């Protein structure tokens, strides 16, 4: 089970930290990441982190502004979002998949992902 939290309304240039609580997993050797979907648009990958070595990957649109992290002791994953822009507005989802898929073109594919959360809404507006 994956449960996201931390979304909300923020002004452009502001920051938010999203959290994803994972439960029911027998092992933590999987990749976990964030996706987002704006109204009328496709869901897109934002960032992911591998369980094996904590390697991280970011979409070009968020590089330098967002930071993904993982706390294995708490079964939590976070996305620190800084310098937010209106185009960052979307529902943000966390999801898991095989560790090797994070950072590959298969990441995010319907057949690749194992579990999804229900999402948390981020709105960036003045």
CA angle 119, 92, 33 (to 5 degrees): 100
What was the pLDDT predicted at 26?
74
What was the pLDDT predicted at 100?
92
What was the pLDDT predicted at 18?
98
pLDDT, tens digit, for every residue of 14-23?
999 999 999 8
For tokens 């998949």, what's the residue? 97
What was the pLDDT predicted at 29?
86
Q: What are phi and psi of 88, to 5 degrees?
A: -85, -10
Both tokens assigned to 37: 């979907």
CA angle 32, 33, 36 (to 5 degrees): 150
pLDDT, tens digit, for every residue of 43-97?
999 999 999 999 999 999 999 999 999 998 899 999 999 999 999 999 999 999 9
What was the pLDDT predicted at 39?
92
Q: Higher confidence at residue 11 or residue 73?
A: 11
What was the pLDDT predicted at 109?
85
């Amino acid at each position: 089970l994956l449960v996201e939290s931390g979304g909300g309304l923020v002004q452009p240039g502001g920051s938010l930290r999203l959290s994803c609580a994972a439960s029911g997993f027998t092992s933590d050797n999987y990749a976990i990441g964030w996706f987002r979907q704006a109204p009328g648009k496709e869901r897109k990958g934002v960032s992911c982190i591998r369980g094996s070595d904590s390697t991280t990957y970011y979409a070009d649109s968020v590089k330098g502004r967002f930071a993904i992290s993982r706390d294995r002791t708490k079964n939590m994953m976070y996305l620190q979002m800084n310098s937010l822009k209106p185009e960052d507005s979307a529902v943000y989802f966390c999801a898991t998949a095989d560790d090797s898929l994070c950072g590959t073109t298969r990441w995010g594919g319907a057949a690749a992902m194992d579990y999804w959360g229900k999402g948390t809404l981020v709105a960036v507006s003045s």
